[in-house]
Structure 1
Amino acid sequence: MKCWHSTWLCQGLLATLLWTISLHSTLFTASPSSSIFAEAAPPDFTPTPRNRIFFWKVTSTTLAPDGVTRPVLLVNDKYPGPKIEVNRGDYITVIIENALDVPTSFHWHGLTMRGDPWYDGVPGMNQCPIPAGTNFTYAFGTDNMAGTHWWHAHFENQYIDGLVGAMIIRDLPETDPFLHAYDEERIVIISDWYHQATGPLLTQYLSPASNGFEPVPNNGLINGKHTFDCSTVQPTDLPCKQGERALFHFLPNRRYRLRIINSSAAAPFMFSIDEHQLQVIEADGTDLNPIMVDSVPINAGQRYSVIVTTNQELKNYWMRAEMGTSCLPNTTTNLNPVILGEVRYRGAGKAEPTSKGRFNPGPVAKGEDAPVNPAFTDACEDLDLYMLHPLKPEPILEPLTHSVQIKLSFKRDAHDKVVRGYMNDITYSGDPWRPTIAQNLNESVIYEVDQHVMKIEKPGAIVQIIFDNSGGGEHPFHLHGHVFQVIAQGDGRYVEGKTPINAVNPLRRDTATVPQNGFTVIRFKADNPGVWALHCHIEWHVTTGLVMQFVELPKELRAMGIPKHVGRLCETGPPKGFKPDTGFMPK
């Protein structure tokens, strides 16, 4: 294990792990409500970094977030799962007890895992899954990282079934540019939601009959809550009761920072609060020159921080997350795509809001179609790239050493007739128990084509990725291990030297939307040895192969080795009868 901070910190971490091992027989027998499973309080600011320790128990149960009961996966009996909240420079230790009867793993979305690539959490790339009934400890630093991030399972579509949560890394007071820009803050996790577990949904999706149309959500949630019309529930035998909406209690004339996280499996959203403007100050952990907007499009995997000032009339208002249905298959009849939460001003009482949104169509004449909410289309694209500039400027990365064009496509497999995703005519398929990071220990390794490996061997190489999506639907692409620059985004095809680029202080983030029938161009610097996934964050598309991986600085990575306890995860091998891409199959 690499020590990133002072000697005392490493000694403390070692002592913690030894204590964990010595108490193996008793540590994880406590109930989820006991003190070791309590969610940590917001961290205090300390002059020196600290080791922040979190104890997690992963279980399965049934839950009704919107009133419809279904099987779910949980951490510490919570959905969304427990929040990780630390200060920049702190060390994070997450001790996992996998109480499921299947393996699992966790990814720390937005963190670069510099120096700790084996904790990135992607089976088949940088670790093997955590076997059922065992414990595993993730331990990693947060140097030079701050902002709004999130964690989620990264094995077998498990995050769709509930394994998600917020990860907040607070900047230090002396370096936080927005320390005095707001009075309080709230976390807002928005998500699509399905009334069936992923198992039966995947069975349909990974069949020729689906024609490649991914499952469409039945609902959406704000902080794990919403309502649903029980008369339209499908399958009709699912238990259904009255759900409830998320509530946000605000004081008048205060400034609130909302940390918005889209933990969806597929759906983008347009986020807004009726009659309030939003000041955007952060995108995916990067502080921005503030801009004022009425609404924010946010795609799967993305995060934004906005400041909202409660200076409107003393009443209650709707918070809206309007689903981008225009970029989802039109295959459902029981979805209400406008997800609502309640913002209650103190002193306004508990009456349901009557506020109006940006889209308020009047009566529709007989025989005419109702107008389409523009949010359903606008949510499918990112905020205007040329509006977003980091508060701390950095020049565009150059000169280029690698420029790779990636053609995104879907086509039917000639053998099993299933429609799969392709990046440059390769559909990804990895072995969770044969991770690339272990294969890299053999310097003469030859990777299988369907592992879709690109090696970057030159330290400091500037890599440009051109996503060509000129013939398909939108895709939010996430790169592990890096914060990249977004230098171009638009309709049609990108033409080097002709298409305008965002060359002055370009936006830096880790998840960017490749628009429908369009392109996105990103750049990153190869200075982080590891095996890093590049994939669409529509989780269904991950299952069908819209994934590739970078083996970055393989020589340096080889010299780092792999910690023994990480390597031991691979000794168990797949459980008896394991079949990939089966999803959560409840008993």
Structure 2
Amino acid sequence: MNLTHLSKDTLVTVVNGQLPGPTIEVTDGDSVIIHVVNKSPYNVTIHWHGVKQRLNCWADGVPMITQCPILPNHNFTYRFNVTGQERTLWWHAHVPGLRATLHGAFIIRPRHGAGSYPFPKPHREVPIIIGEWWEMDLAQVATDLSNNSLFDFNSASTINGKLGDLYNCSGVAEDGFVLEVEPGKTYLLRLINAALLMEYYFKIAGHRFTVVASDANYVNPYDTDVIAIAPGETVDALLVADARPGKYYMVAFPYQAPKPSIQGPEYITRGMIQYSSGNGAPVLLSTSNGTTGEEEGGGPSADVPIAPEMPDHNDMVTSLYFRGNLTSLRRPQLPTLVDERLFITLALGSVCRRGRVCERGSTNDESITVATLNNVSFELPAAAETPLLESHYYNTGGVDVLRELPARPPKVFNFTDRDLIPYGPKEANLEPTSKATLARRFRHGAAVDVVFQSTSLMQSESNPMHLHGHDMFVLAQGLGIYDAAKDVARYNLVNPPVKNTVLVPSLGWAAVRFVADNPGVWFMHCHFEFHLSMGMAAVFIVEDGPTADTSLHPPPADFQTCGHDESLMLQKMGIDKRRVKSEDARS
């Protein structure tokens, strides 16, 4: 459908005519059935971001990893249970570019109602989705990123789909999101970062927040005036309407790594909160002039909202400090013995198109920049017809093309040397890399430690790393190069925050631990769209456990497949090939 912003009609793909898409509200313990009817011209899948999908990887929604894409004019039904989870998650398209407009909140309420929150029941709960407005074909944006033809930028930032009054056309300001509040009431803000490119700082003038959850896991209440939220993350925060009644701006401000990294446009967006009397009538103040707002810390005028003072757009410390103050409210069951340890570097590199030998940076455009994990860039198998999950479940050999994700990078260098950021001679010998269907296989129940190390190789961005099907214990984070000899001593083994998306700071590191106890084929990737499109991803394959309750369940009877081999014939006959093989072995 066409949406009009900045005096221009733009054709966008949306769900049910809405941007953001509809909020899906469920209760812990529910079974969920969602019918997706694809009337767009694009292949689509929907990922239920942060939903565990226990023993049901089939509903995870990643094209050619867990399912075939939903073709134009085709339908697909997702079926899954939501058990043992509460708070704020979200859903989004898991195809390149389209999640900028195909997304919405996914709220899981506690089984015993809001009265069971570990904090006073709020007067109202409000989803706040930070996003971006693009005046271009989002599928083309993804193609540009993956083919290195150019780097595109959005035209504005949004709060709940609205650009706000900082943007105008011919003197007419864009609409902004307005939240009406009553004096003395408490509001639960469910923040979601659905942006493709940027981490954001979020503030409301004259007010503070109490952060109570992140990525659908409760945290010890943390008082702050600024929230840092990266693409993929969610934050639940209480807001008390305890300021002098009037109007106050809420501002989302993008953070980016400082120069010499590429500097994108600073597209700030703002909405506002408006105090009301409870019957819908705004509370206005009498002032001497009625024309100007006061500075933050004072009170607002009758008509002009006050704006908060925001961090600098290159201020990385505020982001690091915010996350360093998050601790788990409920002591998690953290395994003390570790079975595997991975050290994964996050970088850019270069490969030659079509597998040819080429000269780096050659004028014939044969060299392409890619994003890597331990110097390998992810790509799906060429001409793949069967999703990896299907090949894994039926043991058809489709996973034979996988290359193992190395446990260590092939070269050790000064990972945070800022001289490696600009394109030039110094990083030339570190650039060459390769592309492969990158995977790592884990025994069921294995405890895995991963250190994600950001590098300065041709970039210095932070990296929000998202693991499907599992939560991660965030043990520690820091700037510079990870040093096990001293940094292990900093690990929080008592109440680490539990996350599905972990921000690895710019030119820094994050140490996480997870338990590979959910069998299936799970995507692990950076949630910045440009890094994902360029290959900063891998699949984590978790093997079945010893019992039916620890093994991946068969696909639903009506699960749409796109393979054409013996396993699918057996499936259609109601025969599980793995069971046949097991029975043959016993006999």
**Fold match by TM threshold 0.5:** yes
Instruction: Say if 2:293 is the partner of 1:354.
Output: yes
Q: Which range moves more in the overlay, 414-423 or 548-557?
A: 548-557
Residue 555 of structure 1 and its aligned partner are, at CA, apart by: 6.9
Q: Name the CA distance, whole Å, in 1 between partners of 2:564 and 2:40.
A: 18
Asked if structure 2 preserves the Cα contact closer than 8 Å seen for 1:267 and 1:299, the reply is yes
The 3 A distance-change label for structure 1 pair 224 and 352 is: farther
Look up the SS of the partner of 1:73 in the other structure. coil
For the 8 Å contact 1:67–1:241, the answer to whether it is kept is no
Written as runs of structure 1 = structure 2, the 5 A alignment for 1:86-105 is: 86-105=26-45
**How far does the alpha carbon of each residue in 1:183-219 deviate from its partner, in whole angstroms, 9 at most, with x for none?**
2111100112222122443454345554xxx433221
Shift of 1:376: 4.4
Aligned to 1:502: 492
CA 1:405–1:242 in 2, change beyond 3 Å: closer, same or farther?
A: same
Q: Kindly state the Cα deviation for residue 502 of structure 1 after the two structures are TM-superposed.
A: 1.8
- Counterpart residue number, 1:345: 275
Deviation, structure 1 residue 397:
2.4
User: Shift in Å at residue 314 of structure 1?
Assistant: 1.2
Counterpart-to-counterpart distance in 1, 2:401 and 2:103? 32
**Does the CA-based 8 Å contact 1:286-1:390 persist in structure 2?**
yes
Shift, 1:567, TM fit: 4.1
- Post-superposition shift, 1:327? 6.0
Aligned partner (choices 110, 126, 137) of residue 171 of structure 1:
110
The residue number in structure 2 matching 1:366 is: none
Match of 2:239? 308
Structure 1 SS opposite 2:14: strand
Shift of 1:405: 0.8
> Does residue 393 of structure 1 match 2:331?
yes
Cα distance in 2 for residues equivalent to 1:307 and 1:383:
19
Aligned residue for 2:4? 64
Task: Classify the secondary structure of the residue corresponding to 1:434.
Answer: coil
Between the aligned partners of 1:276 and 1:337, the Cα distance in structure 2 is 23
Q: Which of structures 1 and 2 has the bigger CA Rg? A: 2
Whole-Å separation in 2 of the counterparts to 1:353 and 1:389:
41
Match for residue 561 of structure 1 among 529, 541, 554: 554
Task: After TM superposition, give the deviation of residue 73 of structure 1 in Å.
Answer: 0.6
- 2:62 aligns to what? 122
- Residue 571 (structure 1) shift: 6.7
Structure 1 residue 147, shift from structure 2 partner = 0.7
> Which consecutive residues of structure 2, in runs of 5 or more, have no partner in the other structure?
277-281, 298-308, 354-365, 404-435, 566-587
Q: Distance in 1 between matches of 2:380 and 2:173?
A: 42
By how many angstroms is 1:330 displaced?
A: 4.1
Q: From 91, 111, 116, give the equivalent of 1:151.
A: 91
Does the aligned pair in 2 maintain the 1:389–1:505 contact within 8 Å?
yes
- 1:475 maps to a residue whose letter is N
**Could you tell me how far apart the structure 2 residues matched to 1:64 and 1:341 are?**
18
Counterpart of 1:191 in 2: which secondary structure? strand
Q: Which amino acid aligns with 2:145?
A: Y
SS at match of 2:531: helix
Aligned residue for 2:63, secondary structure, equals coil
Residue 251 of structure 1 aligns with an amino acid whose one-letter code is E
TM-score normalized by the length of structure 2: 0.77
Give CA deviations for 1:204-259 in whole Å, capped at 9, x if unaligned: 4345554xxx433221000000147778x9xxxxx997421111111111011100
Indicate conservation of the 8 Å contact 1:385/1:507, yes or no: no
Asked if 1:491 is matched to 2:479, the reply is yes
1:404-433 Cα offsets, whole Å, 9 max, x none, are 111111012233312110101111111574
Query: Aligned partners of 1:564 and 1:395: how far apart in 2?
Result: 35
| Counterpart check, 1:222 vs 2:153 | no
Partner SS, residue 400 of structure 2: coil
Q: % of aligned pairs identical?
A: 25
Judge conservation of contact 2:378–2:537 (CA < 8 Å) in 1.
yes
- Cα distance in 1 between the residues matched to 2:29 and 2:294: 43
Q: CA deviation at 1:559?
A: 6.2
Q: Is the 8 A contact 2:199 2:228 kept in 1?
A: yes
After alignment, is 144-153 or 408-417 more displaced? 408-417
Report the secondary structure of 2:223's partner residue.
Answer: strand
Aligned match of 1:438: 390
Q: Which amino acid aligns with 2:367?
A: K
Q: Distance in 1 between matches of 2:172 and 2:95?
A: 31
- Shift, 1:554, TM fit: 4.8
| Cα separation, 1, equivalents of 2:345 and 2:155 | 31
Answer yes or no: is the 8 Å Cα contact 1:468–1:518 preserved in 2.
yes
The Cα offsets for residues 317-352 of structure 1, whole Å up to 9 and x where unpaired, read as: 0001111134696455xx453211011001334999
In the alignment, the residues of structure 1 paired with residue 310 and residue 176 of structure 2 have an alpha-carbon distance, to the nearest angstrom, of: 24
1:549 alignment partner in structure 2: 539
- The verdict on how the C-alpha distance between 1:497 and 1:396 changes in structure 2, with shifts beyond 3 A counting, is farther
- Does the CA-based 8 Å contact 1:402-1:461 persist in structure 2? yes
Compute the displacement of 1:297 (Å).
Answer: 0.5
Contact 2:439 2:540 in 1 (8 A): yes
- CA drift of 1:403 comes to 0.5
Q: Which amino acid aligns with 1:313?
A: R
Deviation of the 1:353 alpha carbon? 8.8
Corresponding residue number in structure 1 for 2:582: none
Question: Residues 207 and 379 (structure 1 numbering): CA distance in 2 closer, same or farther, change over 3 Å?
Answer: farther
Take 1:170 and 1:408, find their aligned partners in 2: how far apart are those partners?
36
Q: Deviations over 1:259-284 (max 9, x none)?
A: 00100101111111101010000111
Matches within 5 A, 1:533-548: 533-548=523-538
Question: What is the deviation of 1:89?
Answer: 0.8
Q: Does the 8 Å CA contact 2:41/2:72 hold for their aligned counterparts?
A: yes
How far apart, CA to CA, are the structure 1 residues paired with 2:149 and 2:99?
A: 25
| CA displacement at 1:125 relative to structure 2 | 1.2
The 1:372/1:168 distance shift into structure 2, 3 A limit, reads closer
- Give aligned pairs, total: 487
Residues of 1 paired with 2:292 and 2:331: CA distance? 41
Q: Secondary structure at the match of 2:58?
A: helix
**Of 427, 434, 437, which residue of structure 2 is paired with 1:451?**
437
- Identify the range of structure 1 (406-415 vs 474-483) with the bigger mean alpha-carbon deviation: 406-415
Which one is further off, 343-352 or 141-150? 343-352
* Paired amino acid for 1:224: G
1:476 corresponds to 2:454: no
SS at match of 1:427: strand
Distance 1:352 1:491, change over 3 A: farther
Structure 1 532/327 Cα, relative in aligned 2: closer, same or farther at 3 Å?
Answer: farther
Q: CA deviation at 1:156?
A: 2.9
Q: Which aligned pairs between 1:73-472 and structure 2 lie closer than 5 A?
A: 73-160=13-100, 162-173=101-112, 176-178=116-118, 180-208=120-148, 210=150, 214-227=151-164, 242-326=173-257, 330=262, 335-346=265-276, 347-349=282-284, 354=293, 356=295, 373-374=311-312, 376-378=314-316, 381-415=319-353, 416-431=366-381, 433-440=385-392, 441-442=394-395, 445-449=399-403, 450-457=436-443, 459-471=444-456, 472=460
Partner of 2:428: none
Contact 2:166 / 2:174 at 8 angstroms: preserved in 1? no
CA contact (8 A) 2:96 2:142 kept: no
Q: Give the Cα–Cα distance (whole angstroms) in 2 for the partners of residues 93 and 139 of structure 1.
A: 5
> Where do 5+ consecutive residues of structure 1 fail to align?
1-60, 234-238, 359-370, 573-587
In the alignment, the residues of structure 1 paired with residue 189 and residue 82 of structure 2 have an alpha-carbon distance, to the nearest angstrom, of: 22
Give the secondary structure class of the aligned counterpart of 1:248: strand
